[in-house]
Amino acid sequence: MSIEALTEADDGPRSKRPAILAAAVECFGEVGYEATKWSEVADRVGIGQTALYHYFESKAHCLLTIMRLGLRNSDAAFREATAGASSSSDALRAAVEAAYALSPQEVQQNRILQSNIALLANERASRREETERQACRELVAQVEHNWAELLERGMAAGEFPRRDPQMMARSLLGLVVGVWRWYRPGGPLELRTISDFITGCCVRMVAGREPDAG
């Protein structure tokens, strides 16, 4: 794992948090969140239960943290990729490509995020879990906003035909993240090939005109 994907500004050099998160990403990715034993995560890091609970009060708290960091990374990658774009079409291509410029471990983190996204719908009983859930929801809204803003700018400039920017943003995101359901690192399709394919789909969806109905 590019350790930054799971690190926060306030993690000191001796913090075990990033290592716990990396082990949890491995476990959740291998057997799924539901089937993962929380004690297995501690075993992989080589720490005891007490140390584990110092960082995370529950398996759900750890999962929600992984999800929040995945969303934080997506938000940051979008901003970085689109900052220098000379047109909205270029920005759109760069945003889609950035969504797939990931290490296998970051792919796993994104798959976990998408597989468990329904968890964000309902309030959590624990305060720390609920704090993470709220932060995730704000980041989901922020990511949607990033895409909608890019689309609005392109429509205002006449680069893209006018269509509902929020519905288009959600549609693009559904298409882009839908890949994490079926893509597996080491499978028959290279991520680079998928990235090019989905970029083409997004460009036609946003910038294309309806072909003449037969």
In the complex, which residues of this chain contact a copy of itself (CB under 8 A)? 31-35, 86-87, 89-90, 111, 115-119, 121-122, 159, 163-164, 167-168, 170-171, 173-175, 177-179, 181-182, 189, 194, 197-198, 200-201, 203-205, 207-211, 213-214
- Cα 152 to Cα 191: distance, rounded to the nearest angstrom: 29
**10 Å Cβ neighbour count for 13?**
4
Inter-residue contact 42 to 17 (CB < 8 Å): no
User: Among residues 4 and 190, whose Cβ is nearest to a copy of itself?
Assistant: 190
User: Among residues 17 and 111, whose Cβ is nearest to a copy of itself?
Assistant: 111
Could you tell me the smallest distance in angstroms from the CB atom of residue 198 to a copy of itself?
Answer: 7
Could you tell me the smallest distance in angstroms from the CB atom of residue 133 to a copy of itself?
Answer: 12
Could you tell me the smallest distance in angstroms from the CB atom of residue 174 to a copy of itself?
Answer: 2
**10 Å Cβ neighbour count for 50?**
8
Per-residue burial over 131-169, b if 16 or more Cβ lie within 10 Å, else e, is ebbebbeebbeebbebbbebbbbbbeeebbeeeebeebb
User: Among residues 8 and 152, whose Cβ is nearest to a copy of itself?
Assistant: 152
Inter-residue contact 41 to 20 (CB < 8 Å): yes
Inter-residue contact 41 to 26 (CB < 8 Å): no
Could you tell me the smallest distance in angstroms from the CB atom of residue 163 to a copy of itself?
Answer: 7
User: Among residues 48 and 200, whose Cβ is nearest to a copy of itself?
Assistant: 200
What one-character DSSP code corresponds to residue 146?
Answer: H
Could you tell me the smallest distance in angstroms from the CB atom of residue 27 to a copy of itself?
Answer: 12
Could you tell me the smallest distance in angstroms from the CB atom of residue 130 to a copy of itself?
Answer: 13
User: Among residues 7 and 142, whose Cβ is nearest to a copy of itself?
Assistant: 142
| Residue 199 amino acid letter | T
User: Among residues 4 and 164, whose Cβ is nearest to a copy of itself?
Assistant: 164
Choose among 2, 13, 17: nearest CA to 65: 17
